Amino acid sequence: MTETTETIKTSTGRVLRTEEMVVNMGPQHPSTHGVLRLEVVLDGEIVVDVIPHMGYLHRCFEKHCEHMTSYQQVVPYVDRMDYVASMTNEMAYAVAAEKLLKIEVPERVHYIRIIMSELQRIASHLIAIGTFGIDMGAFTPFLYYFRDRERILELFEMTCGARLLYNYIWIGGLSHDLPPGFIEKTREFITDFKKTLKEVNDLLNYNEIFIKRTANVGVLPKDLAINYACSGPMLRGSGVSWDLRRDDPYTLYDRFEWDVIVGKGEMGTVGDVWDRNMVRQREMWESLRIIEQALASLPEGDVQKAIPKRIRPVPGDAYGRVEGPRGELGFYIVAEDSVTPYRIKARAPAFVNLSVINEISKGAMLADLVAIIGSIDIVLGEVDR
């Protein structure tokens, strides 16, 4: 591209031209969080245009689902979509499938699912904020957060044996009940984790340099966020109070006391990078509140009672959605008279949120672009599926 961005006339009337430079950010770049390729048009350090190129991690998830031998077989496969928040993916698929099959699951299953998905939300936000810190050049908070994420993974490992791809939440139930000692360990974790949250607030989120880097950067206005169908912390950071856990309660979220966090523009404008990051930070506190309440009132019961042996739904369709760490994660399932789904469509929040990048990063500096990508919190496994 050789367009001129500005024309400066010399005293003799000659026009000085400055040329734009096109650089490829990715697919191998340390801060694109995976294999995202951004075609960035730069005028010096100023970003003129950003064109995201996706598909490097495309694995034909939706097509694969049509060729399984049963509905249950899709569960381990949805794990691999958003691989840092697998529990949420399973949860979304289970919610959609149960809606399709009209299965009522026992209360204990609901409670355990809520505990698991809130733990997963914390684990995912820890990565989001930690890697965001790395993008800003602060390496240390990342490792503090990873240390605590490790403990969540240990809890998951205790429960279902896997640390990343769980295959835990099944249609109509769970693969295992909670192991003995889980509740105590979770409580211990909550107590310790609160200290880390405060520590990282001092170290990163309220650091003067960090605020300088993030406030008023990548501002996503309310209406733009809604027009682009952004969801999750991306939308709430722009000041829209919208959380599916409250506005479309899908399991038993309406039983718990907690608040929806929205960005208020404390350090700059509403919807800037700092706000989005802070929404994540504060949401972890709310997740802890939900977990504490769920642990206190965990009912007894059989977690596998409602699991159907063979699934052959009545032809029809269903859309189930949950509030994932990245936003609205939904599965639309179309069933025909068969044991396999006719069509599964996933609404991936990371993909939708990423689409706004061109709008909000124009005129920013190259370093800001890195901050913006970090604040969108994309997982390429989910963007490309």
Partner 1 sequence: METLLTILNEPAVTAVLLALLPLAFILVYALVVLYGEMKMAAHIQNRLAYMENGWHGTLQPFADMLKLLQKEDIIPAAADKFLFILAPYLVFVGTYASFAVLPFSSGYIGSNIDLGIFYLVAVSSLVVVGLLMSGWASNNKWSLFGALRSAAQIVSYEIPGVLAILGVVMVYGTMNMQTMTQMQEGGIQNWLILGGDLPLGQKLALIPFVFVLFVIYLISSMAEVNRTPFDLPEAESELVQGYNTEYSGMKFAIFYLAEYANLFLVSAVVVVMFFGGWSSPFGSFMNGPVWGGFWFVAKGMFFVFFNIWLRWTLPRLRVDQLMYVSWKVLTPFALVCIVAIGFIMVV
Nearer to partner 1, 109 or 134 (CB): 134
Smallest distance, partner 1 to C-beta of residue 19, A:
13
Nearer to partner 1, 146 or 182 (CB): 146
Smallest distance, partner 1 to C-beta of residue 291, A:
24
Smallest distance, partner 1 to C-beta of residue 152, A:
16
296 to 315: interface string for partner 1, x by CB under 8 A? --------------------
Cβ–Cβ under 8 Å, residues 383 and 54:
yes
Nearer to partner 1, 16 or 21 (CB): 21
15 to 34: interface string for partner 1, x by CB under 8 A? ------x-x-----xxx---
- Residues that bind partner 1 (rule: CB under 8 A) add up to a total of 29
Our finding on whether 51 is near partner 1 (CB under 8 A) is no
Nearer to partner 1, 26 or 232 (CB): 26
Q: What part of residues 356-375 is at the interface with partner 1 (CB under 8 A)?
A: 365-368, 370
Q: What part of residues 110-139 is at the interface with partner 1 (CB under 8 A)?
A: 133-139
Give the residue, chosen from 93, 111, 144, 242, that forms a contact with partner 1 under the rule CB under 8 A. Answer: 144
Smallest distance, partner 1 to C-beta of residue 265, A:
20
Picking from 324, 319, 326, 323, the residue whose alpha carbon sits closest to that of residue 243 is 323
- Enclosing H/E stretch for 35: none
Smallest distance, partner 1 to C-beta of residue 367, A:
5
The span from the CA of 281 to the CA of 191, in Å, is 16
The span from the CA of 260 to the CA of 172, in Å, is 28
At 135, list the tokens: 């993008």
Q: What part of residues 161-220 is at the interface with partner 1 (CB under 8 A)?
A: 203-204, 207, 209-210, 212-213
Smallest distance, partner 1 to C-beta of residue 326, A:
20
Nearer to partner 1, 91 or 364 (CB): 364
Picking from 22, 16, 53, 19, the residue whose alpha carbon sits closest to that of residue 38 is 53
- Encode burial over 304-330: b for 16+ CB neighbours within 10 A, e otherwise: eebbbeebebeeebbebbbbbbbbbbb
At 371, list the tokens: 């901050």
Cβ–Cβ under 8 Å, residues 348 and 329:
yes
Smallest distance, partner 1 to C-beta of residue 369, A:
8
Cβ–Cβ under 8 Å, residues 292 and 190:
yes
The β-bridge partners of 322 are 329
Angle of CA points 255, 260, 262, to nearest 5°: 175
Nearer to partner 1, 130 or 381 (CB): 130
Smallest distance, partner 1 to C-beta of residue 151, A:
13
- Token pair 């429960």 in the structure block, residue: 159
What's the alpha-carbon Rg for the chain, to the nearest Å?
A: 22
- Token pair 């599926």 in the structure block, residue: 385
Which positions lie near partner 1, rule CB under 8 A?
Answer: 21, 23, 29-31, 45, 133-140, 143-144, 147, 203-204, 207, 209-210, 212-213, 365-368, 370
